[in-house]
Amino acid sequence: MPQAPAGRALPERKPFKKPIHGQLYVQVLVAIGLGAIVGHYWPAFGESLKPLGDAFIKLVKMIIAPVIFLTIVTGIAGMRDLGSFGRVAAKAFGYFLFFSTLALIIGLIVANVVRPGHGLNIDPATLDAGAVARYADQAHETTVVGFLMNIIPNTIFSAFADGNILQVLFVSILFGSALAVVGEAGRPVLSFLEAVSAAFFKLVAIVMKAAPIGAFGAFAFTIGAYGIGAIANLAALVATFYLTSALFIGIVLGAVAWANGFSILKLVRYLREELLLVLGTSSSEAALPSLIQKLEQAGASRSVVGLVVPTGYSFNLDGTNIYMTMAALFIAQALNIDLSLQDQIVLLLVAMLSSKGAAGITGAGFITLAATLSVVPSVPIAGMALILGIDRFMSECRALTNFIGNATAAIVVARWEGQLDREALKAALDGPAAPIAAQPDPAAGPGDREAVTRD
């Protein structure tokens, strides 16, 4: 080792920093741009790239069920007091109910003030009811009772085979609670699951290397199939929805974050890789495993993250709720249907139920809208044909808002429970955007975790 001259210290070596082109968020951003170019100038070729996006989402969905199971089971089994699990669940559902209802109300208010459908003067007789028949059928099949019954899988293994998040959540909670009650006799099982968990989170890091390819294919397909021009025809609705969602994140979630000691803008920056992935694939599920990992890395306890995030994916859909009431009023305005205050209150109450009834279903935003309109006879379901062409572009904003809402909820509930390492959170949000980390030692508390950079 070289020796420093007397009285002088050797210059401190700076840690190795990955070049900007090697950062995942940069790669995904470039892929989205290239996908937009390909889809716009060569639409047929862009449409043919759909399998790239589908394959990546299937890769991620392949590991979602085991990641949720391992995170929840090891988190609950590691609790000394199972009563804290009940408190976490109660606080999480209280948070979900309040903010998801608030999102519905905000969508309703903005649609009444801005009136994005006013002046279109669409004749209901010209609508193509067949275009939305499939969604209407799915909506009729989806009831609250059916949804609750569907939480219970036919067998423990069928929950994993079907990849149903709520069923996996249900099985995980039961098994984790049983393992905690067993006590010391279950310690070998817990140790084994913790080791398997570390391997699965390393698998997450490997799978995420394919994110730019998936984002490229998915975005090229979206632009190629629907075209930028589809937005122009209904620009008022798209712009109103995007602006409302941005204000919801910045003002509502920003205030919640500020009250709980962190910045929503710093959280968005910390999760930028995942957000770009959600934007590129129009699927918040594509970033679910790495969201769980990053929230743990930011100091939220495994037990809280494992319960709040997967549950929030079904019950805390802020973006979807804003979309539902706004789209319903847009259709009514476009068809020159005047909804009274009583009609709008009924619409709001129905939307509160239907937004839970179709949770976890692919294309849930459009299906829940169909379910809502089917109970509100004043607005014909056929009116959904007006927004069918732009729903893909709306789904991206829905997914982004849902994703940020669930990340915020997990940190807030962890703080309420005293299971948030504030120093780790500050370090994560103030530092450079953290790469997907190797899974921390599950036995360590939030304060004992060390961030491990990706290979």
141 CB neighbour count, 10 Å cutoff:
12
Report how far apart, in Å, the C-alpha atoms of 156 and of each of 174, 190, 255, 346 are.
Answer: 11, 18, 41, 38
Rounded to whole angstroms, the Cα distance separating 18 from 24 reads 10
Q: Which two tokens stand for residue 206?
A: 């490997």
| pLDDT attached to residue 266 | 92
Strand-pair partners of 300? 420
Rounded to whole angstroms, the Cα distance separating 262 from 109 reads 28
Residues in contact with 450: Cβ distance below 8 Å, sequence separation at least 6, in sequence order: 440
Angle between helices 83-114 and 302-315 (to 10 degrees): 40
SS3 content of the chain, % helix, strand, coil (to 5): 75, 0, 25
Rounded to whole angstroms, the Cα distance separating 73 from 68 reads 8
Distance from chain centroid for Cα 450: 26
* DSSP element (H, E) containing 165: helix 165-182
Q: Which residue has the tokens 């769980």?
A: 292
Q: Is 130 in contact with 384 (CB distance < 8 Å)? A: no
DSSP 6-56: TT-PPPPPPPP---GGGSHHHHHHHHHHHHHHHHHHSHHHHHHTHHHHHHH
DSSP 450: -
| pLDDT attached to residue 255 | 95
Rounded to whole angstroms, the Cα distance separating 159 from 163 reads 6
Q: Is 127 in contact with 389 (CB distance < 8 Å)? A: no
Residues in contact with 38: Cβ distance below 8 Å, sequence separation at least 6, in sequence order: 45, 46, 49, 216, 220, 223, 224
Query: What's the burial of 123, exposed, middle or buried (CB within 10 Å: 0-12/13-18/19+)?
Result: exposed
Q: Is 360 in contact with 64 (CB distance < 8 Å)? A: no
pLDDT tens over the chain, length 455 residues: 444 444 444 444 444 455 666 666 677 778 878 888 888 888 888 888 888 888 887 887 787 788 778 877 877 776 666 667 778 888 888 998 899 889 989 988 998 888 887 776 666 655 555 545 454 455 444 555 666 677 788 888 888 887 777 788 788 888 888 888 887 777 888 888 888 888 887 887 788 788 788 888 887 887 787 676 656 656 778 888 999 999 999 999 999 999 999 999 999 999 988 888 888 777 777 788 888 889 988 888 888 888 888 888 777 888 888 888 888 888 888 888 787 788 788 778 777 766 654 444 445 566 667 767 766 667 777 777 777 667 777 888 888 898 999 999 999 999 998 888 889 899 888 876 444 444 444 444 443 433 333 33
Strand-pair partners of 239? none
| Degrees, nearest 5: CA angle 227-232-235 | 130
DSSP 107-158: HHHHHHHH-TTTT----GGGS-GGGGHHHHHHHHH--HHHHHHHTS-SSHHH
Which three-class secondary structure string do you get for 301-330? CHHHHHHHHHHHHHHCCHHHHHHHHHHHHH
Q: Is 438 in contact with 290 (CB distance < 8 Å)? A: no
| pLDDT attached to residue 265 | 93
Rounded to whole angstroms, the Cα distance separating 62 from 229 reads 35
22-439 adopts what CATH topology? Proton glutamate symport protein (1.10.3860)
Strand-pair partners of 420? 300
| pLDDT attached to residue 122 | 66
* Domain boundaries along the sequence of the chain: 22-439
Model confidence, pTM: 0.73
**First and final C-alpha spacing in the chain:** 27
Nearest Cα neighbor of 77 from 163, 197, 200, 161 is 197
Indicate the residue type of 126: T
Rounded to whole angstroms, the Cα distance separating 51 from 216 reads 11
Query: What's the burial of 381, exposed, middle or buried (CB within 10 Å: 0-12/13-18/19+)?
Result: buried
Rounded to whole angstroms, the Cα distance separating 233 from 212 reads 30
